[in-house]
Amino acid sequence: MAPADGPRDLRRRRSLLLSPVIRFFGGKGGVGKTTLAAAFALRQAERGTRTLVVSTDPAHSLGDVLLASLADTPREVLPGLWAAEISGEEQASRRVAEVAEDARHAVPREVLPAVERHLARAASSPGTVESALLDRLTDLTEQVGTRWDLLVVDSAPTGHMVRLLSLPTLLTPWIEGLARQRERARNADRLVAGMSGDAADDPDPLLRRLHVRRDRMERMARRLRAEALVHLVVVPEHLALAETLRAADTLADAGLPLGAVLVNRVVPDEETGVLAGRRDQQQEVLLRLKERFADAGLVRVPLLAGTLAGAAELAVLGTVFDGAGGTLAG
């Protein structure tokens, strides 16, 4: 259950209406995006914001970072902080089963075995898994503003994240095309039924599902553009820099808003010895990042000791977001 609202909570919730309430953390594998997403989510929860953090990364390390056992259904792991790990494969299997059930009531019995074989193959295809993952993420997004104030998404590595964020716009015309084809088939059935004297016009569950899905994708696409920010996480190394620059360009081309970029594991100025040499190597990358992301903003996250797991260590890490600017601090 969500905590009761006090006057301070209500003021905080109203202020969030002016801020992006959906935050994606993405980047090259191994740069620390899960840890930073969890630390950011915890920091917002500590400030009185009902926060849900979810992982869409197949590798799923969010539970390890939070020291909690997670599943598809969000659970409160700390006061004001809920967490979940979404399995695209499980969501795809569930969705295909629902479509198969609709098909049993909507397609001729003689073609049903072929339809079921096709659906069984589709359940494991990458496109179906990503689409089903988006469906579940849409479910959770639609509860932002009622059950939660803020949704933080620990995304899959960069390429997968960009595809997932682009899916609502890509899927809408495809679903619309399927609906038109289904409508034409229904019209032909009605014509034949009328000629034979059988004017029955039973509801079509497949067509209804297509219309519902199209409307949801349209709402999701609008919400991503109006209420979401993508925070790219990068370490100050040339390989990670190149992928981050490509991701930023792809997000801009797709019309998706870019928030502050997080530069993780920056060697502090006071370090000496081997780390001092590494710090010098980081300066060129930091300079390029500063030039490229001057508008979005740049947040440096220092190299810290410890495992950076559990509430205590994440709370310390979360303080780097204080004063980081409206595009990140919330």
CATH of the domain at 61: 3.40.50.300
Q: What is the mean pLDDT of residues 1-10?
A: 48
In a domain, 10, yes or no: no
| pLDDT over threshold 50, residue 292 | yes
SS3 301: strand
- Per-residue tokens: 200: 């029955």
Count of structural domains within the chain? 1
Please state, in angstroms and rounded to a whole number, the distance separating the CA atoms of residues 234 and 261. 8
| pLDDT over threshold 50, residue 132 | yes
In a domain, 107, yes or no: no
In a domain, 112, yes or no: no
| pLDDT over threshold 90, residue 75 | yes
| Amino acid 116: pLDDT | 59
24: DSSP letter: E
What's the one-letter identity of residue 204?
D
Q: How confident is the model at residue 12 (pLDDT cuts 50, 70, 90)?
A: very low
By residue range, what is the domain housing residue 152? Answer: 20-92+124-329
DSSP 34-95: HHHHHHHHHHHHHTT--EEEEE--TT--HHHHHTS---SS-EEEETTEEEEE--HHHHHHHH
| Amino acid 114: pLDDT | 61
Q: How confident is the model at residue 13 (pLDDT cuts 50, 70, 90)?
A: very low
| pLDDT over threshold 50, residue 256 | yes
| Amino acid 71: pLDDT | 93
Q: Determine how β-strand 81-85 pairs with β-strand 75-78.
A: antiparallel
* Among the ranges given (31-40, 197-206, 274-283), the one the predictor scored with the smallest mean pLDDT: 197-206
In a domain, 180, yes or no: yes
Please state, in angstroms and rounded to a whole number, the distance separating the CA atoms of residues 55 and 155. 6
In a domain, 115, yes or no: no
In a domain, 97, yes or no: no
CA distances from 37 to 72, 87, 230 (A): 18, 18, 11
- Per-residue tokens: 165: 């964020």
In a domain, 106, yes or no: no
Q: What is the mean pLDDT of residues 6-26?
A: 61
What's the pLDDT tens digit per position in 186-226?
555 554 454 454 545 556 666 676 677 777 878 888 888 88
Q: Which residues is 148 bridged to in the sheet?
A: 144
Q: What is the mean pLDDT of residues 220-249?
A: 90
In a domain, 3, yes or no: no
